[in-house]
Amino acid sequence: MYKRSVLLYAVIFILNYTILAANIKQKPAEEKPNILFILVDDLGYGDVGILYQSQRKKQNLPHMLTPSIDKMAAQGAILSNSYCNAPVSVSSRSSLLSGVTQGHSIVRDNQFDRELEDNYNMANTLKNVGYATVAIGKWGLQGKVRTDTGWPAHPLKRGFDYYYGYIRHSDGHEHYPKEGLYRKSKEVYENNTVVTDDLDKCYTGDLFTAKAKQWIIDHNKTQKNKPFFMYLAYDTPHAVIELPTQAYPKGSGLKGGLRWLGEKGHMINTASGDIDSWISTSFVNKTYDDDGNPMTPEKPWPDVYKRYATVVERLDAQVGDILQLLKDLGIDRNTLIVFTSDNGPSQESYLKENYSPEFFRGYGPFDGIKRDVWEGGVRVPTFVQWTGKIKRGITVDTPSMSSNWLATFLAAAGHKAPVRSDGVSLLPSLLKTGKQQTSTVYIEYFNDGKTPDYSDFETYRRRKTRGQMQMLRLGNYLGVRYDIKDHSDDFEIFDVSKDAKETKNLAPSMPRLQQQMKDRVLQLRMPDEGAERPYDKEFVPSLKEVVNEKGIIWKEYAGEYLWVPQTYDLTPSDMGQKPVNNEFNIRNSKKGVITYEGTIKVPADDEYSFYLTTNGKAFLKIHDASVIDADYNYQAGSERIGKIKLKAGLHPFKLTVLKNSQNPQLSLDWSSDNFSKRALTDENFY
């Protein structure tokens, strides 16, 4: 059996190497694209014209206008099954930036202002591969206590070269930094300096847009040959629905629109007039049929909805302004642009007059809003434009999450994502090349509220207690659990490819899928003390299959890497099967990566500790749970320990090792309550 396996691997290796060599010859080196990531706050899937508002316009229902965003969608790709990582901003943004699901994020639930973990993220990885990195707008991941050295997780400490915006979460509720209706003491930072006193009458959407434009213009003048990554995180239409001071300046891009003036008290060209005063002429006189009776007179839109529509229209103009700038500078064809939202629509206005997304149906064809894991709370508008690369007007139906963008951006830059990332590159779907790897679409979240009592929501879902929630998508099937008390609680299961509103619960007829979902949610996460779950103490289920052959599969990948990389789409330079005897090192060789894969035979239900030591760097996953990270800031030769509860049986593992010497060394030990620390041997691997 062993000899046959080695012969088979040899044949596969020769074929793969031949294909790889041909690809290397055929594919010329490409310029790294600029990357512009536009993240908006609380904009629902249904708030965008091309996705839902245009349909409402045809039906003569209250609707909003987003011509610039619609144009971007038409010129690129619509990701119709795109999910945020959590239904609230802080958790969603932490997962987005770090490239992990909420099953591995340090920031979970409503842990506002908790610091973004010091590990690989969008900014520091792209910076390490040659990008100028800039963050503008809302941050909210800085840490709770500012010390003499500043905020623990200031953007400049997480890989950004430049930062301008609201660093504290609560400041982002208010859209006039110096004045405002709701909150007085707000801080806008330029790098480490608070500059709020200079910002008379600066509406934040305008302010962040003008600063973004000026930064791009300056970069294009001074560092044109260096690609940039801009994280442009708006704080609108979220929270206080405040209005701009005036109409949008005429023109856009280099020839008009918003401009950075840089003068104290007059920082931007809309810093004049009255704050919170201008309602768009598109909506100021709007009326609607409030009672569904065409025989009675229509009523004017309530003021709060004129406000919301104005803010969304303003946001649309700001996006269009920046896209035109890229075109005017001649860099649009080498800029990968993503537009998306951090979660579903909110029902807050922070004003005397309440706002409800029912009026425009901001949740689109779904049920649920912000803080729900129903589709309306977590499926978000997502559009991608890369002129000349992504075909115009395509729709990508492949399910995906915001945690995929880190891997996608690194792939566009010609690099592999760190193996700690739960995301995969979406370039195969976007560029229609190669095989698209399946995304992990998983959310866990706690909220002590209820789903709203909206008349167009399913009856049983209205005022449904949220509590502990989970969402998992496997193919077209989506499982949802609300108010989880125990891991035995069933998922509701929907085929969202046919039933996007989640009306028909298929769970009673799908017991095998039910069990698969319950198993899967334990296999792709690690518990976190800061966000306890009812299923934290469950043992991770083992494989159902029987494996009799001892040993592991090893694969070697030549090359130099800045971190322990994902290897799912790399071609091995060598591979084979061997017994272990705790000797993971194959031979002295050039720098590169080795992966060891197989299953660990666990003797009994227990919590197991794993101990890893290497003179390089390494990462251990059991199932898809990240058990040991000996990569980021790892000191060679030190021991890292990870704990995981496992049921008796076979558990798949992948140990990825980055070699950085001619004499690679690595050891992996384990222990439990039933045996002391000892080496994993042939008896443990299958």
According to the model, what pLDDT value does residue 550 have? 78
Which residues 6+ apart lie within 8 Å of 114 measured at CB? 90, 94, 106, 107, 141, 143, 144, 530
> Helix 303-328 to helix 204-222 angle, to the nearest 10 degrees?
0
pLDDT at 562: 95
Contact 65, 49 (CB under 8 A): yes
**Which of 404, 443, 442 lies closest to 425 in space, CA to CA?**
404
Cα torsion for 261, 265, 271, 276, to the nearest 10°?
Answer: 160
Tokens 């990195």 -> residue: 133
Which phi and psi (to 5°) does residue 44 adopt?
-75, 160
Query: Which pLDDT tens digit goes with each residue over 274-298?
Result: 999 999 999 999 999 999 899 999 9
The encoded tokens of residue 266 equal 């007059």
- Residue carrying the six token digits 């610091």: 115
pLDDT of amino acid 582: 53
Residue 77, strand partner residues: 384, 394
Question: In the structure, what pLDDT confidence band is assigned to residue 546 with cuts at 50, 70 and 90?
Answer: confident
Average pLDDT over residues 465-482: 98
Query: Which secondary-structure segment (H or E) carries 314?
Result: helix 303-328
pLDDT in tens, 17-35: 333 333 333 333 468 999 9
Confidence check: pLDDT of 229 > 80: yes
Residue 257 clears pLDDT 50, i.e. is over it: yes
Q: How confident is the model at residue 577 (pLDDT cuts 50, 70, 90)?
A: confident
Give the distance, in angstroms, between the CA of residue 185 and the centroid of all CA atoms in the same chain: 30
pLDDT of residue 16: 42
Q: Is the pLDDT of residue 62 over 70?
A: yes
537 Cα distance to chain centroid:
27
pTM more than 0.75: yes
With CA atoms as reference, report the closest residue to 685 among 655, 647, 640, 658: 655
| CA–CA distance, 201 with 272 (Å, rounded to integer) | 6
Is the four-CA dihedral 491, 494, 495, 500 of positive or negative sign? negative
652 φ/ψ angles, rounded to the nearest 5 degrees? -70, 140
Q: Could you say which DSSP state residue 51 is in? A: I
**What is the dotted CATH code of the domain comprising 36-435?**
3.40.720.10
Closest CA to 477 of 373, 399, 396: 399
What stretches of 27-64 show up as alpha helix (H) in DSSP? 54-58
pLDDT at 579: 60
* Alpha helix ranges (H) inside 32-128: 54-58, 67-74, 89-98, 122-128
Q: Which of 310, 421, 331, 438 is nearest to 385 (CA)?
A: 331
* Per-residue pLDDT at 8 exceeds 80: no
Model confidence at 464, in pLDDT bands (50, 70, 90)? very high
Percent of the chain with pLDDT over 70: 93
Confidence of residue 545 (pLDDT cuts 50, 70, 90): confident
Residue 657 DSSP one-character state: E
The pLDDT of residue 544: 85
**Helix intervals (H) in 397-496:** 405-412, 427-431
User: What is the rounded average pLDDT of the residues 612-637?
Assistant: 96
Q: Where are the alpha helices (DSSP H) in 329-412?
A: 375-378, 405-412
Which CATH class, in words, describes the domain spanning 2-28+543-684? alpha beta
Mean pLDDT to the nearest integer, 101-128: 97
pLDDT at residue 91 is higher than 80? yes
Which has the higher per-residue pLDDT, 579 or 75?
Answer: 75
Pairing of strands 394-396, 592-602: unpaired
Interhelix angle 89-98/405-412, nearest 10 degrees = 30
Give the β-pairing of 34-40 and 228-233. Answer: parallel
Whether CATH 3.30.1120 fits 443-523: yes
- Give 185's pLDDT tier (boundaries 50, 70, 90): confident
Which percentage of the chain shows pLDDT scores above 90?
87
pLDDT band at 669 (very low <50, low <70, confident <90, very high): very high
Phi, psi (degrees; rounded to nearest 5) at 70: -60, -40
Query: Do 349 and 241 form a contact (C-beta atoms < 8 A)?
Result: yes
In this predicted structure, the answer to whether residue 585 has a pLDDT above a threshold of 70 is: no
pLDDT in tens, 518-536: 999 999 999 999 999 999 9
**Residues whose CB is less than 8 angstroms from the CB of residue 7 and which lie 6 or more positions away in sequence, other chains included:** none
Q: Which of 386, 408, 410 is nearest to 335 (CA)?
A: 386
Tell me the average pLDDT across 64-75: 98
DSSP sequence for 532-572 = --TTTTSPBP--SS-----SEEEEEEES--SS-B--TTPPP
pLDDT grade, residue 659 (50/70/90)?
confident
Q: Work out the average pLDDT over 507-516.
A: 98
For the sheet with 552-558, list strands across it.
574-578, 552-558, 592-602, 649-659, 617-622, 625-630
pLDDT given for residue 654 in this prediction = 97
Using one digit for the tens of pLDDT, what is the confidence trace for 144-162?
A: 999 999 999 999 999 999 9
Residue spans per domain, the chain: 2-28+543-684, 36-435, 443-523
Q: Is the pLDDT at 583 greater than 90, yes or no?
A: no
pLDDT confidence bin for 625, thresholds 50/70/90: very high
> How much is the average pLDDT of 186-192?
97
Quote the pLDDT of residue 484. 98
Residues facing residue 384 across a β-bridge: 77, 338
- Rounded to a whole number of angstroms, the distance between the first and last alpha carbons of the chain is 13
